[in-house]
A and B are shown apart, each in its own frame.
Chain A
Amino acid sequence: MIIAAVVCSTFSSCKKTLESDYLNPDGFTTPTPEGFYTNVQQQLGIFRTSYGEYFHNFEAFNRTLGTGGTVNDGAANTYGWGNSPYGDIYSKLRSIRAMNDAVAKLPADQQKEYEVFSWTGVVIKGYLFYQLADAYNDVPYTDAMKAQDNNFFPKFDKQQFIYTSILADLKDVSGKLKDYTLGTSAIQQLIKKNDIWFAGDLIKWRTFINSLRLRLAMRISLADAQLAKTTIQEVLQDGVYAKDRASSITLVDLQQDRAFEFLINRALEELRTRGSGYLWLPQNMMKVLKKSGQPDDPRIKVLFQPDKNGNYTPMPAEANDVSVIRDQIDQTNLAKTFPSLYNRTTFERNTALPTMVITSTEVHLILAEAGLRWPDLGISVTDQLKAGVQESIDIYYEINNKNKDLVYTGVMPEAAPVKPDQATIDLFLAAKIAEFNVANSTEKLGLIYDQRYVHFNMLKPYELWADTRRLTKELGSRVKKSASNFLLMERTVYPSSEESNNRENFQAVQAQNNYTSPVWFTGR
């Protein structure tokens, strides 16, 4: 009996120790809805650039979109893309779900206070989902993110359905925010701090949402022309979208000191040092930037840096041409390479390089194309084109000028040029418009595409990839800027875990599970 008593008392004191050791001391247990919200926004690869993603994107897209010159040895590329947006995007969405679940546990009055968080959460969700659908075509959307509801077998939704739903959501939220004013309660004021994108500025949000609507509308211009046109009309009527530098959606990272750890800068540095590089000035882009009979594009000097001879020499696209200059290829001294590299002052060494989420240039080019496709919209195509190119010149000079890294020994003064005066730029713009005006309607689309090619360059591969796939239907090889031995990927493949864990639903999409089936929005 005594030992039983001793054992019992020992056991109960032990039990307390055991209970206190149950939780991981490094585990945090009291999250907040706004903490999840900020987490969604700060995840790399949404607004912040992601080292890992770009590292793989350069390898996959710089060759096949012709946005980066490589030491082409004649071998065809495989379609492999080291990045898998699938798991990545669903995991990014996880914090939105967690935020909504956390809000749902609050009393009803507090839930109402969090509604701006929820509405803008819907926008972020749409922003992620269209990218997912672009890469895969059909993906789980309606049933997605429902593990908490015991739905473990999500069905795959068609890309068309996803686009339609996102556009409806964006329209809905844009409308809600239009008539909304932030209250003064502590919760409502939280968004000013926790919204690291726009600091709770609802006009900025609406600018982003409506600009995104324009982007998505143009994406479906061939697959669902009616919805595309209606959406553009609605946004034009609303009038709030990225139309100049001030309203462009860009984000300067708050952790520039860690740029060479997390951000695009690290990817640029690492990819450059590879033998095949991917970041030489590509010959086909040079062809757009420097046309005979026209002034040189002012962006040449901020997008690229001169070679050891002081020239802007591109890396040839085709293997045979590379072979001819192979012995001269030189990057021993980064201030004197041969051929030219992407401008390291603008990009690689520039930790202040903003993420160009949606720029006014992109919107102007969308509107220019919309004006061509639907003249009844009453858009001045040449005005839009001209503004697009002008603002692209502006922003790249601005970015180049932001780099304060003057201590790095590899930097060359010529890579930080003085912006040409407006008269010089105007001459160039006039030549571009003259070229455009004499082109036939297909070539006009091609010329708009060329401006996207230059403006997006290697910085925005997803948008350029989407536009290239879309315009292939009408423009064919006009939009092929890569060497002849590089193949264009139409989509990427689902992770094999999806097949094994969701077999029945997967049956619906397995026929398209390859790199060669065009996605719905391409209209092919």
Chain B
Amino acid sequence: MKQIYLRCLTVLLFSLITVAAYAQKKVSGTVRDPEGQPIPGASIFEKGKNNGTMTDPEGRFTITVPETATLTIKYLGYLTKEVGVGGSAVLNIQLVADEKALNEVVVTALGVKKEKRALGYSSTTVKTSTLENDGSPLNSLTALYGQAPGVRISSTALGPAGGLNINIRNAVALFEGSSTKPLFVIDGIPMLDGPTDINRSTGNGLNDLNMNDIESFEVLKGAKASVLYGSEGANGVILITTKGGGKKDGLGIDFSYSRSFDDPWIMQEFQNEFGSGFPAPWSNPGTVDAEGFYLRNGQQAYYPTNYNFGPKMDGREILWYDGVKRPYVAQKDNIKAFYQNGFTNNVNVAIQGGGDLGNFRTSYSRNDYKGIFQGYNLNDNKFMFSGDIKVTDRVKFKLVSTYVNTFSHNSPNQNQDAFVTYGIPRQLDVERLSKEQIVDPETGYFWWYVNNRQAQNPTGGIVRDGLAKNYFWNQTMNSYDNTREHFINSATVSVNLAKGLSLETLGGFDLITNHGETKERVTRPLIESAGGYYGINNNKEMRINAQSLLHYDKQLTENLELNAFVGGVIQRRTYESVGRFTRGGFITRDWFSLNNSKNDEFYNSGDRAYSRKLSRLVGLLGSVQLAYKNWLYVELQGRRDASSILPPENNVYFYPGLSTSFIYSDAFKLPEWVSYGKLRASWADVGRPGPEYFSNVIYGIGNYGGIITNSPPGDLPPINLQPERKREFEIGLENRFLNNRIGFEFNVYHASTYNQIMGLSVAQATGVGSLRINAGEITNTGFELNLYGTPIKTRDFSWNVVFNASQSKPMVKKLDRGVEEQVLWGAQGATVVAHINEPYGQIKVSSYTKDPVSGKRVVGADGYYSNDATKQDVLGTVIPTAVGGLNNTLSYKGISLDFNIDYSFGSKMVSQTNMYMVGNGSAKNTLEGRDEAHGGLPFYVRNDGKFVGLPSHTSALPADSQYPFIMHNGVILDGVKADGSPNDVIITAEDKYSYYWRSFMDIQPDIVYKNDYIKLRNITVGYTLPNKLTSKMKIQKLTFSVYANNLAYLYKTMPNVDAESLNGTNAFYENNAWPAVRSFGASVRASF
């Protein structure tokens, strides 16, 4: 076998092996580091000759040299040492660390460890040890906020229990089926990850990572960094390395406990002066009295609508919807009453140890989370084992195994109608609703459906169905449960075949199973209508990965070193989902069983019932790196993939990558204050096959009355689909100064994603919704800066600071078939588009009609602004152009203070919450003009319906008035009439605010908001007890900390909603009005 591999290398790596040998004197020995640990892979050379060798994994070497020879011993990160052989037959050499070099070993693609100086591309390491006092965030990846330049993170509105949107270098796609997320690889195993939304989302596999088990994140950004991941590396890769075992002082037990209190952080600003209702001119005369009150049975009554355009809340007693008289006052905190205070509780314990034979670490972690939404809670258990064992001198085995189970109960659904679109009456006593009007105490049915309350209590459908039923009843009486089990396992066998030749084989899988169970109670007697629902949904997703790499490392000459490997990768990915549910309601009340289905269960051709997917990928890869004097590195890599996803004629594809790293601070003599300087460049062209079955031409099949039916696909199938490609060129500069006290890393890159596999949207009238093709090109040029330093460092005090910045703007260069614009998202007249030769993700909305001369808005004869459908305003893009963070650590003796700030600039967001808050009269800024006190103009409604201005609010009622009173809520919109003269047409203030309803909720230019922010992400204060104290307690280390997460916006442009309130990981907009979650907590960490 060894021979085969050797031959193979010979073929693939051009016979680079030449070893000179002169039979003179055999010298052997060991090379060790200052701690006495052996150094494998150190090079030993006869000075001035082409004769050399390398140390084995035990640090041992043997070389034959003349007695007069001098040996040169080199290993990165250590000062080069020269030793005269003389008469010695055994040489034990200890190297001294090179403080100036500060060499880091980083994990690169496929788990290959390399010195960072050798990398010709950008890679950022985030060590969790610097973040460990921040509590144990429910989602470990939140730790990456602001930590790596070019990495953009945004949470969804669901907060910490929901999915996270992670994006590297503004990766974008023209097709929603394409993922823009990076590939996550944990201990060599590619992780399962998918998009999440905010409708009863239970998160995805990434939510199962345990921050306490993670050693580091390695962010591989460009195409070259991830070229060996080929098909999946186009969006960058985040490598996660878990903590391994090792001998520790003491018992080797680590324990931590943290608890945080999670508060709903409501950012909406409401008006508290006017309650629900309509202004008089919106209702027929007689419906509303002169004071604007709705009349029910002749009494002033609760207006059964959600629009807050009713009369002023002056505390008078009115007839409530349930027939009781109550004061008509604002419930200022009624939105808060929908939510509750939550918490996150985490316990973590780990034990580790090690010895000559091997090491291990095992841990258990438990999270209990109570969400801010009624009834929402979650808990998980996370187990992990990591162990390695030396099987023989040449063979090592490593096993990493994790198991996580997560139970989620009643993650909320969006409920847009109730929470956003139609508003909530400002006088609605939500607490009363939730306590008294959800469950009928006698029958246990939905309160409103008992005793005809729904017809007899005029409250409006939104309060009854939207809030009472779809929120309170569903969240507290029904169950929407999901249990996720997640296994990630990897086993690695490393074999040292010969000097410089080793084989590493890894196999493993990521497996997620979900068991969903829905139990909906009967809301009214079954005799009245069907009711009750029980459903289960099981799915299983698995990704198996096996790879084998044969490494060959050889010191070719004194100055030239070869590091090469070839290998293969096999992957198999499967998904299967099966659902079963009752149909037509229950037979008997609230027995949650499929046997309680009123109608027989039918096979459903939709996705809910059954779906499956399978894809395979086989890859061959090779990498050759040559190092000259350890200051010039050239690396050539290539991978050839064959994927089952693409049509057989195109399913094999190759992608190459090339990079170079030049450590000019070693090549040239530079001033002493320059500690390190490196210039690097890389290029790669990667490819990927798109989603499974995307290019299949398949038809629907059905049966109606015994006759077979066939239906065509809803889009135009592709012909000859090719893999999509991404090509990226990157150069970077890395410098450190003043003995490494300060430094920076700067990258500039240009990427082009072309031949994208996509569904190109076309008009529905073409008969198809989209064309499945290779089309489009997006280019992206950007830079990244990582600036770090230690401004202050004394014996007791130090201040470390890291600043990350990045900027880029993806541009659309091509589409196809004459289509110039691809709609990425669209709703109510607004679109987010990719338009040729424009930045990706532009938001377009119909312009207001404007006067060409004055530029003012034109007001129609009806007194309203209108939109000019022929013109569209381009209002910015959804992609931020600049993101980054500022991270500080201040330490004084045992006390540390960390605070992290991150920012995002340059994007805009469509905020329908803002639009509807104005449109339904809930927002604080909708008061002007509503009555005399708020500057409203006096007018009356003439018999012909026309609004006619009056000189004063005390004017007498004209005889031709349609209503028996005059109005006080007139406004005149700022603008000009069609002829250019100033507008003088009176409308009501309520019409001014609710103009969205006039255009059927079309999004207007003024509700697309700039979404810039600077956020104080977290503050942590930690105190580590002095050693002399803890040692008496038999504790190795004891740290207490208090922290606050998602703390405050230092700057924010988005009104009323959180800047991170997106509707999902693949969404560009928000329309949820959910509060953000702010948490305050404390933790204790102890090592025994």
Query: Do A and B belong to a common assembly?
Result: yes
Let me know if A94 and B705 touch, CB within 8 A.
Answer: no
Residue on B with the closest CB to A150? B817
Let me know if A29 and B705 touch, CB within 8 A.
Answer: no
Let me know if A500 and B644 touch, CB within 8 A.
Answer: no
**Is A239 positioned at the interface, with any CB of B under 8 Å from its CB?**
no
Q: How far is the CB of A449 from chain B (nearest CB, A)?
A: 25
Which residue among A1, A7, A144, A273 has the maximum number of chain B CB atoms within 10 Å of its CB?
A273
CB-defined interface of B576-587 with A at 8 Å, one 1/0 digit per residue? 000000011000
**CA distance in complex: A511, B866 (Å):** 12
Q: How many residues of A contact B (CB 8 A)?
A: 105
A143 / chain B contacts, CB cutoff of 8 Å: 765
Let me know if B766 and A154 touch, CB within 8 A.
Answer: yes
Let me know if A151 and B702 touch, CB within 8 A.
Answer: no
**Is B207 positioned at the interface, with any CB of A under 8 Å from its CB?**
no
Let me know if B648 and A19 touch, CB within 8 A.
Answer: yes
Q: Which of B620, B766, B771 contacts A146 (CB 8 A)?
A: B766
**Is B716 positioned at the interface, with any CB of A under 8 Å from its CB?**
yes
A4 / chain B contacts, CB cutoff of 8 Å: 8, 11
Q: Which of A11, A38, A497, A515 contacts B764 (CB 8 A)?
A: A497
Interface set, chain A 33-88, CB cutoff 8 A to B:
35-36, 38-39, 42, 71, 73-76, 78-80, 86-87
B699 / chain A contacts, CB cutoff of 8 Å: 27-29, 31
Residue on A with the closest CB to B709? A39
Residue on B with the closest CB to A260? B584
B826 / chain A contacts, CB cutoff of 8 Å: 496-497, 500
If A74-B284, A146-B766, A261-B583 touch, whether A6 touches B828 (CB-CB below 8 Å) is no
Let me know if A196 and B452 touch, CB within 8 A.
Answer: no
**CA distance in complex: A323, B828 (Å):** 35
B616 / chain A contacts, CB cutoff of 8 Å: 14, 17-18, 21
Q: Which of B612, B702, B714, B821 contacts A25 (CB 8 A)?
A: B612
Interface set, chain A 95-141, CB cutoff 8 A to B:
95, 97-98, 139-140
**Is B997 positioned at the interface, with any CB of A under 8 Å from its CB?**
yes
Q: How far is the CB of A232 from chain B (nearest CB, A)?
A: 31
If over half of B's interface residues share one DSSP class (helix, strand or loop), that class is named, otherwise mixed; here it is mixed
B602 / chain A contacts, CB cutoff of 8 Å: 258, 261
Q: How many residues of B contact A (CB 8 A)?
A: 102
**CA distance in complex: A3, B930 (Å):** 84
**Is A145 positioned at the interface, with any CB of B under 8 Å from its CB?**
yes
B296 / chain A contacts, CB cutoff of 8 Å: 323, 326
Q: Which of B458, B618, B828 contacts A496 (CB 8 A)?
A: B828
A153 / chain B contacts, CB cutoff of 8 Å: 763, 818
| Interface-facing stretch out of B382-390, B484-492, B524-532 | B524-532
**CA distance in complex: A24, B460 (Å):** 48
Interface set, chain A 263-307, CB cutoff 8 A to B:
269, 272-277
**CA distance in complex: A145, B711 (Å):** 15
B768 / chain A contacts, CB cutoff of 8 Å: 94, 147
Q: Which of B7, B610, B648 contacts A18 (CB 8 A)?
A: B648
Let me know if B461 and A501 touch, CB within 8 A.
Answer: no
If A74-B287, A153-B763 touch, whether A260 touches B527 (CB-CB below 8 Å) is no
Q: How far is the CB of B694 from chain A (nearest CB, A)?
A: 10
**CA distance in complex: A36, B642 (Å):** 36
**CA distance in complex: A254, B704 (Å):** 7
**Is A22 positioned at the interface, with any CB of B under 8 Å from its CB?**
yes
**Is B701 positioned at the interface, with any CB of A under 8 Å from its CB?**
yes
Let me know if A330 and B870 touch, CB within 8 A.
Answer: no
If A39-B711, A323-B296 touch, whether A18 touches B618 (CB-CB below 8 Å) is yes
A154 / chain B contacts, CB cutoff of 8 Å: 763, 765-766
**Is B1051 positioned at the interface, with any CB of A under 8 Å from its CB?**
no
**CA distance in complex: A39, B701 (Å):** 9
**Is A472 positioned at the interface, with any CB of B under 8 Å from its CB?**
no
**CA distance in complex: A150, B762 (Å):** 11
**Is B615 positioned at the interface, with any CB of A under 8 Å from its CB?**
yes
A513 / chain B contacts, CB cutoff of 8 Å: 869
A38 / chain B contacts, CB cutoff of 8 Å: 704, 707-710
**Is A26 positioned at the interface, with any CB of B under 8 Å from its CB?**
yes
If A18-B643, A35-B708, A255-B704 touch, whether A330 touches B455 (CB-CB below 8 Å) is yes
**CA distance in complex: A257, B831 (Å):** 42
Let me know if A90 and B644 touch, CB within 8 A.
Answer: no
Q: How far is the CB of B332 from chain A (nearest CB, A)?
A: 26
Q: List 18 A-B contacts (CB under 8 A).
A: A14-B616, A15-B652, A27-B699, A36-B710, A38-B704, A39-B709, A91-B764, A94-B712, A95-B711, A148-B716, A152-B762, A152-B819, A196-B705, A260-B584, A326-B458, A496-B827, A511-B869, A513-B869
- 7 nearest A-B residue pairs (beta carbon): A27-B698, A35-B710, A3-B8, A31-B710, A254-B705, A145-B767, A98-B712
Known: A144-B767, A320-B286. 13 other contacts (CB 8 A): A3-B4, A18-B651, A22-B647, A31-B701, A94-B714, A140-B765, A147-B766, A193-B707, A258-B599, A334-B527, A410-B527, A496-B826, A496-B827
